[in-house]
Amino acid sequence: MQKIIELKNITKSFDGEVVLDRINLDIYDHEFLTLLGPSGCGKTTMLRLIGGFETPDEGEIVFLGETINDVPPHKRNVNTVFQKYALFPHLNVYENIAFPLREQKVARDEIDRRVKEMLSLVALNGFEKRNVTRLSGGQQQRVAIARALISHPRVLLLDEPLGALDLKLRKDMQTELKRIQQTTGITFVFVTHDQEEALSMSDTIVVMDGGRIQQIGSSIDIYNEPVNAFVADFIGESNIIDGVMLEDRRVRMSGHTFDCLDTGFERNEPVDVVVRPEDVDIVPPECGMLRGVVTSVTFMGVHYEIIVDINGFKWMIQTTDFVDVDERIGISLEPDAIHIMKKSEFSGMFGDYSSFSNEFDELNEPSPDAESEERG
Amino acid sequence: MSRAEKRQTAAAMQRAALAPYTVWAVVFIVVPLFFIAYYAFTDDNFAFTTRHIVRFFTATSEVVTDAGAVREVRTYLLIFFRSLKLAVISTIICLLMGYPFAYLISRASDRAQKTMITLIMVPMWMNFLIRTYAWMTILQDTGLINSLFGALRLPTVHIIGTEGAVVIGMVYDYLPYMILPIYSVMAKMDVKLLEAARDLGCSSAGVLRRVVLPLSMPGVISGITMVLIPSISTFYISQKLGNGKFYLIGDAIESQYAANNLHFAAAIAFIFMVILLAGMALMRRLTGQRIYGGA
């Protein structure tokens, strides 16, 4: 596959605060790439660098082999779908979509043909004369996409485009965006802080934190083989336990030695052990590899989410079997339920559910606007 | 209390809160307007007449043209169109100067914006008469400008007593009324819209023409209104800077009042008001259609 954009050693600071720290990233033609991270991780800044709204302090942005650091936005073959759409309130739907073509002085009937084509791509046929300020969020979103795609950019940048939509509409638009990307074959660079959205839509996910790329990989790689505690915690739920790698395929944690599939560590190397809540089997205490007491049970619809105290460490387990609070249970882990990570700067910061509560989690949910407001 | 009762009380309270303003509006706006109309259509004995209205359109006087010939003109129509001409020229100059200025201010940093807006407003705190006198001393044949020109051995210029001097005075006095409404619209404009326009292929000039200009039209309209109306009805500036040679509609009303011709003064004011209202309504209609809807 052809590289379409290369970021080479990009550093960017605002008022002395480093927002992007030596970023290297290749974006390939036709892929759906997602920049995923908490607010303030630098993902929006990265998008703005590619769009041409910011210039890097150091490093190079390469577009199809050419350095474009100093090329202004209107001369880049890259368009953006802005967070709150930024539709022109003085123009109707038709004129919003036709906006880039009018600038290029495209012939009237050609404009007409292409606007119609875009309207049907985003399923807004018949909306030509509508006032954009009276459209619903989802419809505004579609107009913004049509407007950004009509001049056939090589790359479409999307800045948390679904952030303002309610859950149901969000799901619909995810499918819709994926469909549009596949029909047009245009490279999408998508920014989000929502890990589920990233997992379900992307060919490649770039997980970011603190201005650095933590991991690049497919959804499955990122979920199953997180490189450090930050990624393991940010993508899905994880129990992250201190362990020691006794030898290849043998890890000791919580006073028990487990078989696993991981190799390539030093003998007796301290490691972080990741166990996903859905990979834990609940068994009678006498059959368990580990034993503990249930401290809370939450009904989540499809499953129960239970917290179990095992030797003072609180595990989260997702199960369809009902267990009661204060019940003593055993757990069992298959070798492929265990994933071993090297120790990192994030070790010990994540993966313990002792302070866990649903309300707390919601409070921590970053607001979708936080980052853009920081950058003004 | 039931919900319906609560709603009724809330509505009653709202009416009560509005009452002082309603009284104010009636006493100081509606009643005076009524009196102007009443005086305009009555004679000294308060009997109905259209004499004063007709006089506005038909009164004639003789003027000596530059060539020395004597010509008969419709006095008040001439005055009205002269006022309109000077006001329109001043408004256009204010717009051409004020618009880019407002744009630059709105793009500056927050602190710079505050400073510049304050600087624009400071002269407005000074009395209007004093400012006009200041311009007299600047523009006089022996005034500041000519002293300066003289010192630089440049030929002196004659400004005071020309239409140009009146226009300078109006522009100086009313420029802030053009800048402020345009600025306030531009300051509220979403920066993302400008970025979107650049992203979609507009050069800086394109962004200005296709996004900033149409979105700032409401500010432009209120700026034009706020400059045109006072400058068309001004009388003091024309007396002082025009040396009284350019009798404007405001001067006409003032001198009729001074001469105790209240009914005719009211008639001039009334006709003038009707023309202005019609003009504003027309402007609103034209621009209202332009602001919304594309091809």
- Residue B8: partners with Cβ closer than 8 Å, 6 or more residues away: none
Quick one: closest CA in B to A146, which residue?
Answer: B200
Q: Is the residue at A371 inside a domain?
A: no
- Minimal C-alpha gap between A198 and chain B (Å): 25
- Do A182 and A288 fall within a single domain? no
Q: Is the residue at A107 inside a domain?
A: yes
- Do A34 and A175 fall within a single domain? yes
Pick one of 1.10.357.10, 3.20.20.70, 3.40.50.720, 1.10.3720.10 as the CATH number of B77-291: 1.10.3720.10
Q: Please, what is the average pLDDT of chain B?
A: 87
ipTM of the complex: 0.80
Q: At which of A197, A224, A251 does a domain end? A: A224
Distance CA A327, CA B46 (A): 101
Q: What is the CATH number of the domain that holds A191?
A: 3.40.50.300
pLDDT in tens, B67-118: 777 888 888 898 899 999 999 999 999 999 999 999 999 989 999 999 999 9
Q: Is the pLDDT of residue B151 over 90?
A: no
**pLDDT band with cut points at 50, 70 and 90 for residue B295:** very low
Q: Is B203 on the interface with A (CB under 8 A)?
A: yes
Q: At which of A161, A191, A224 does a domain end? A: A224
- Do A128 and A209 fall within a single domain? yes
Quick one: closest CA in B to A156, which residue?
Answer: B199
Interface of A with B in 96-125 (CB under 8 A): 98-100, 102-104
**pLDDT value for B288:** 62
Provide the number of structural domains found in chain A.
2
Using alpha carbons, list the distances in angstroms from residue A374 to A55, A215, A369, B103, B194. Answer: 18, 25, 9, 24, 19
Say if the Cβ atoms of B201 and A72 lie within 8 Å.
no
Tokens of A309: 């105290």
Residues of B within 8 A of A73 (CB-CB) are 195, 198-199
- Do A71 and A203 fall within a single domain? yes
Q: At which of A224, A255, A284 does a domain end? A: A224
* Chain centroid offset of residue A160 CA: 10
Say if the Cβ atoms of A88 and B198 lie within 8 Å.
no
**pLDDT value for A88:** 95
- Residue A12: partners with Cβ closer than 8 Å, 6 or more residues away: A18, A19, A20, A42, A45, A49, A54, A56, A57
- Do A207 and A309 fall within a single domain? no
Q: What is the CATH number of the domain that holds A321?
A: 2.40.50.140
Of A7, A3, A4, A2, which Cα lies nearest the Cα of A49?
A7
CA-angle at A306, arms to A218 and A253, nearest 5°: 70
The share of chain B scoring above pLDDT 70, in percent, equals: 97
Q: Is the pLDDT of residue B265 over 70?
A: yes
Mean pLDDT of B24-33: 90
**pLDDT value for A365:** 46
- Do A144 and A286 fall within a single domain? no
Residue A26, sorted as left (phi over 0), alpha (psi -120 to 50) or beta, turns out to be: beta
Q: Is A94 on the interface with B (CB under 8 A)?
A: yes
Quick one: closest CA in A to B192, which residue?
Answer: A86
Q: Is B208 on the interface with A (CB under 8 A)?
A: no
Distance CA A349, CA A351 (A): 7
Among A157-161, B120-124, B143-147, B284-288, where is mean pLDDT lowest? Answer: B284-288
- Do A8 and A134 fall within a single domain? yes
The boundaries of the domain holding residue A263 are 229-356
Residues of B within 8 A of A147 (CB-CB) are 200
Q: Is A57 on the interface with B (CB under 8 A)?
A: no
Q: What are phi and psi of A215, to 5 degrees?
A: -160, 145
Q: Amino acid identity of A359?
A: E
Spell out the SS3 assignment of B83-123: HHHHHHHHHHHHHHHHHHHHHHHHHCCHHHHHHHHHHHHHH
Q: Is the residue at A82 inside a domain?
A: yes
- Do A196 and A306 fall within a single domain? no
Mean pLDDT of B197-207: 92
**pLDDT band with cut points at 50, 70 and 90 for residue B243:** confident
**pLDDT value for A361:** 46
Residues of B within 8 A of A80 (CB-CB) are 195-196, 199
Q: Which of A88, A94, A130 is best to mutate for the B interface (most B CBs within 10 A)?
A: A88
Residues of A within 8 A of B198 (CB-CB) are 52-53, 72-74
- Do A8 and A129 fall within a single domain? yes
Distance CA A98, CA A336 (A): 53
**pLDDT value for A350:** 83
Q: Is the residue at A133 inside a domain?
A: yes
**pLDDT band with cut points at 50, 70 and 90 for residue B1:** low
What is the full per-residue pLDDT of chain A (376 aa) written as tens digits?
Answer: 799 999 999 999 999 899 999 999 999 999 999 999 998 899 999 999 999 999 999 999 999 999 999 999 999 999 999 988 999 999 999 999 999 999 999 999 999 999 999 999 999 999 999 999 999 988 999 999 999 999 999 999 999 988 878 888 888 889 999 999 999 999 999 999 999 999 999 999 999 999 999 999 999 999 999 999 999 999 988 999 999 999 999 999 998 999 999 998 999 999 999 999 999 999 999 989 999 999 999 999 899 999 999 988 899 999 998 899 999 999 999 999 999 999 988 888 887 887 665 444 444 444 444 444 444 3
Count of C-beta atoms within a 10 Å radius of residue B1: 8
- Do A186 and A262 fall within a single domain? no
Q: Is B220 on the interface with A (CB under 8 A)?
A: no
